[in-house]
Amino acid sequence: MKITFIGHSAFLLSDGEHTVLIDPFIEGNPVAKHTVEQIKGMNVSSILITHAHGDHWGNALQLAEDGAPIIATAEIGGYASANGAKNAIGANIGGTVRQPWGSVYFTPAWHSSSFPDGTYGGMPTGLIIEFGGKRLYFAGDTALFGDMSLIGDRGIDLAFLPIGDHYTMGPEEAGRALDLIRPRDVIPMHYGTFPGLSGDPQVFAAEAQKRGVTAHLVQPGETIEY
């Protein structure tokens, strides 16, 4: 599996046959190295959205113009359909959506969720993604919460955790989250994009090392093999 970090909390997953896009904040993302047109050329199979804030919803509608389904909460799915998406799938926390590439299960996240125009976006979520023979936990924007231990019980290969502080967990709290999730590997995200997101990835990497978890500090525009 190849993982491309677009920047902020936007990622592309590819197994050579399918490409899954997560939280596609591209235009207006000061650290993004890709354009919307470049990503549209990658034949995206599905677009996963954790919540409706503009820095996660991003360019979902443009990227779904060719028919890739937008998969998110019922509220986000309904908003996408009402705003021209050809294929939107609304689910909710505790539900699983199955696709040709694998599946996505929706977990709680402690945050908020509304679209840039003020429309309510439903509950924020995390995602447990089955893709490329791996089980990934994509936390979205969240605080530390105890039920992360239930997510860890599923056996997580790779976690994606926000570490920016101010709006989400900071590095130390994200380190405590690793105690509950117990992944083999972790990728930090949602830091350094804007001045308020001051979480230090080196501090987080040290927290992960204490726990025997390998932290991959992927740079915007970089692709790694996993």
User: What pLDDT sits at residue 153?
Assistant: 98
User: What pLDDT sits at residue 210?
Assistant: 98
CA 70 to chain centre: 13
User: What pLDDT sits at residue 4?
Assistant: 98
Mean pLDDT in runs of 10 for the chain (226 residues)? Answer: 98 98 98 96 97 98 97 98 97 98 98 98 98 98 98 98 98 98 98 97 98 98 98
User: What pLDDT sits at residue 222?
Assistant: 98
| DSSP code of residue 219 | P
User: What pLDDT sits at residue 128?
Assistant: 99
pTM of the model: 0.98
Which residues contact residue 101 at a Cβ distance below 8 angstroms, ignoring those fewer than 6 apart? 15, 17, 18, 20, 45, 46, 131
* Domain chopping of the chain, boundaries: 2-225
User: What pLDDT sits at residue 36?
Assistant: 97
User: What pLDDT sits at residue 13?
Assistant: 98
Cα dihedral 77, 59, 201, 73, rounded to 10, equals 0
Write down the CATH number for the domain with range 2-225. 3.60.15.10
Tens digit of pLDDT for each residue in 133-154? Answer: 999 999 999 999 999 999 999 9
